Structures are given as C-alpha cells and as structure tokens.
Amino acid sequence: LRTKAAPKLSETIRRNLRHLGFRQSELEAKLDALDEPRSNGFDAVELLFSPNPGEPLKPLRAIASSGEISRLMLAIKSALAAHDAIPLLVFDEIDTNVGGEIAHAVGAKMQTLGRDHQVICITHLPQVAATASSHFVGERIRNYAKSAGRDDRKKSRACSVAKANRPCNSQPVY
C-alpha cells in the first residue's frame, strides 16, 4: 500500500511546495523494506528533500532552516489533511524569509487547513494574518495575550504594515 501511495503523496507535496515558494524543489518518499515488521509497518519511510536545484536530496531531519521545515510541514499537512485525525496544528514563524506572493500562499494554505483542523500560527506578516478567523495580540511589555476583536485585528494589521514607517505600541502575534 505504501509503495503505491508514496509517489502520489510525493507529487502532491511537491505541488504544494511550489505554491509555497519552493519552485524548483524536489521531494521523494524513500521506502526501505525491514527484515522484521515493526508496529508501524513492514517498511521504513523517509522523506528526502532538496530545496534548491543542484542540491542533493537529504533527509528532512538534516535540513537546518526552521522556515523551510515549517513550510515543508505545511505542504505535507495540506497533502494529508483529508486523511489524518490531528485536531491541532501549530506553525511558529512559518513566514520566515518569505513575503509578498509567498506570504499570501502560506495564508491561503493555512486557511484551507483551518476548515478541518484548528490552526495556530505565530506570524509577523499581515498577508498571513489576514486569512485568520481569530487573532491574539501579544505585547512585549506584558506577560499576557488577549483575544482581539474585529477593530483590534484591523488596527493590528495596519500597525504591522505601517511598522516600517513608525513605531507601534504592540507587536502583533497572530
């Protein structure tokens, strides 16, 4: 079953990755038969990834960038969303080293995931935050977070956009 599913899953993840800014990335599901079955099957599965052309495929555990790992997990979770029962997904600074078009794509993917899962995302990009149904704003001077109403959310996004021109009183965390 895994032998048949691996190529299809790999292709779906690759397609998701292209939408998330990895336009020329490669991903492959490597299956190795085990001598004896384990609790999770008769073979070992390892995902190999290359974020850039010309780089060799490497095990996911060998990839250092947290931003790459976060977006890769978003691509994987998007591919598996209809088949897994994990109710809560947390993405911490998934927007590291992205902006513009990719930030919109990240937000759209998370919004789609949010239809069947609870998604918590810590972001500093208004393009990503704009897709959320709820926001929480963290302030650096205090040790608490509060739920943000509709007006607070608009102000927080506006503050994020305007931050380059003038300081804001609070740091938005979505």
Return the bridge partners of 58, or none.
49
Read off the pLDDT of residues 134-154 as tens digits, 9 standing for 90 and up.
888 777 765 666 666 666 666
Residue 169 in this model has a pLDDT that exceeds 70: no
Residue 62 in this model has a pLDDT that exceeds 50: yes
Give me the half-sphere count of Cα atoms (radius 13 Å) on the Cβ side of residue 112.
15
Contact 103, 127 (CB under 8 A): yes
Residue 86 in this model has a pLDDT that exceeds 70: yes
Query: How far is CA 136 from each of CA 79, 142, 155, rounded to the nearest angstrom?
Result: 27, 14, 12
How many Å apart are CA 77 and CA 71, to the nearest integer? 10
The pLDDT score that the predictor gives to residue 52 is: 86
Q: Which H, E and C letters describe 49-87, residue by residue?
A: EECCCCCCCEEHHHCCCHHHHHHHHHHHHHHHCCCCCCC
When pLDDT is cut at 50, 70 and 90, the band that residue 45 belongs to is confident
How many Å apart are CA 91 and CA 98, to the nearest integer? 14
Domain 2-133 in CATH 3.40.50.300? The answer is yes
Residue 56 in this model has a pLDDT that exceeds 90: yes
